[in-house]
Amino acid sequence: MVHLSSAWLLGGPLGLFLLVPVLMAPTPSSLCTPLKTLNDSLSHRRRYMKHNFPINYSIQVHYEEIFKLSNISRMRVNVEGLDELMLQRLWFQVNQGILKKLIRILPERHPSRSYTAELETRFRDAEGVFVQAHPDEVFQREPPDPVQDIWDRLTEEPEKVSSWRYATPKSLMDNLCHTMHCLFSHCFTTEAQHDYCGISHWRKGRNNMKPKAAKKPRR
Ligand SMILES: *[C@@H]1O[C@H](CO)[C@@H](O)[C@H](O)[C@H]1NC(C)=O
Ligand SMILES: *[C@@H]1O[C@H](CO)[C@@H](O)[C@H](O)[C@H]1NC(C)=O
Ligand SMILES: *[C@@H]1O[C@H](CO)[C@@H](O)[C@H](O)[C@H]1NC(C)=O
C-alpha cells in the first residue's frame, strides 16, 4: 500500500509510469536465462529420472502435485479472475515441493542425486529472478479460491492427507518441463511458434523419437 500511495502522491505522469509495470506484469525477459538453463538440465531427465530407477518406481505425491497441461487449460477456463502470473506462482509452488521430495528420497550416493540437486538449484535461481522481477504487491495478492485451496492442500500435514497419488520421477519432471514451456512460452518460442500449451505438441515430439511402427498392410 505504501508503494501505491507514494506513487499517487508523486502524481501525474510519474505515478502512472511507476504503476505500468505492475499492471502489465509481462514475464520479464531476465527470467528467460535461468529458465533456459533449467530447460537444458531437463533434457537429461530420461537418463537420470528413469533409467537410474527401478522400472515403474513411483513416489508418493499430493493430488495437486500432478500438475499437467490439462490442469492449466482447465483452470484457465474454470477459475474466475485467474491470471498468468498466478498460474506461474502456482507452478513454482508445486514444483518446488516435488523437487524437494525427490531429493529427500535419494541417498547421498545415488547416481541421480547430484543431477536432482542441480535441477533444484537451477529451479531456485529461476524462482529468485521471478520474485525479484515483480513488485511485492504481486505476491501479496490473494489468489482466487480454487488456487488458495490447492495451496492449502499442498501444505497440509502428511497425517491429514486422506489419499495420495503415486507418480514416477520421470512423469513429474515431464510435467514440470511441459508446463514450464506453456506458462513461460515467450522464453521458448522459436520461429515455428509452437503451441506449448497444447497436449498434441508434446505427443508429436514423443512419437518422433520412437522408431516408426511398421504398419500392418490391410486386406
Ligand atoms: C529446451 O530443451 C530442449 C531439449 O530438451 C531443446 O530441444 C530446446 O531447444 C530447448 N529450448 C530452449 C529455448 O533452450
Ligand atoms: C510398469 O507399468 C506398466 C503400465 O502401468 C505395466 O504395463 C508394466 O507391466 C509395469 N512393469 C513392471 C515391471 O511392473
Ligand atoms: C490436475 O488434475 C488432476 C486430475 O486430472 C487432479 O488430480 C489434480 O489435483 C490437478 N492438479 C492441480 C494442481 O489442480
Q: What is the whole-number distance in angstroms between the Cα of residue 63 and the centre of ligand 3?
A: 6
pLDDT at residue 192 in the model:
64
Is residue 87 in some structural domain?
Answer: yes
The residue segments making up the domain with residue 120 are 28-206
Is residue 64 in some structural domain?
Answer: yes
* CA–CA gap between residue 203 and residue 65 (Å, rounded): 21
Residue 125, domain CATH = 1.20.1250.80
Is residue 123 in some structural domain?
Answer: yes
C-alpha cell at 120: 533444484
C-alpha cell at 149: 485451496
**36 secondary structure, DSSP code:** H
- Which residues sit with their C-beta closer than 6 Å to ligand 2? 55-56
Is residue 181 in some structural domain?
Answer: yes
- Strand ranges (DSSP E) for the chain? 59-61, 165-167
pLDDT at residue 113 in the model:
97
Among the listed residues 58, 145, 143, the one whose alpha carbon sits nearest the alpha carbon of residue 98: 58
C-alpha cell at 209: 523419437
Is residue 172 in some structural domain?
Answer: yes
Is residue 12 in some structural domain?
Answer: no
Q: What is the whole-number distance in angstroms between the Cα of residue 174 and the centre of ligand 3?
A: 15
What total number of domains does the chain contain?
1
Q: What is the whole-number distance in angstroms between the Cα of residue 144 and the centre of ligand 3?
A: 16
State the closest ligand 2 atom to the C-alpha of 55, by its place in the atom list counted from 1: 13
Tens-of-pLDDT digits for all 219 residues of the chain? 444 444 444 444 444 444 444 444 456 789 999 999 999 999 999 999 999 999 999 999 999 999 999 999 999 999 999 999 999 999 999 999 999 999 999 999 999 999 999 999 999 999 999 999 999 998 999 999 999 999 999 998 888 888 899 999 999 999 999 999 999 998 998 766 678 898 777 776 554 444 444 455 555
CB 180 within 8 A of CB 39: yes
Is residue 6 in some structural domain?
Answer: no
Is residue 79 in some structural domain?
Answer: yes
